Amino acid sequence: MSTATAAMWAELLKARRSRLPWITAAAFTIAAGFGGLTMFILQDVRRARSSA
Residue 51 is predicted with a pLDDT of 65
- Alpha helix locations (H) across the chain? 3-17, 20-43, 45-50
Residue 48 is predicted with a pLDDT of 74
pLDDT in tens, 1-52: 699 999 999 999 988 888 888 899 999 999 999 999 999 989 988 877 786 5
Is residue 39 a contact partner of residue 32, using CB atoms and an 8 Å limit? no
* Pairwise CA distance, residues 10 & 16, whole Å: 10
Q: Could you give the angle at the alpha carbon of 9 between the alpha carbons of 4 and 14, nearest 5°?
A: 125
Radius of gyration of the chain (CA): 21
Residue 52 is predicted with a pLDDT of 55
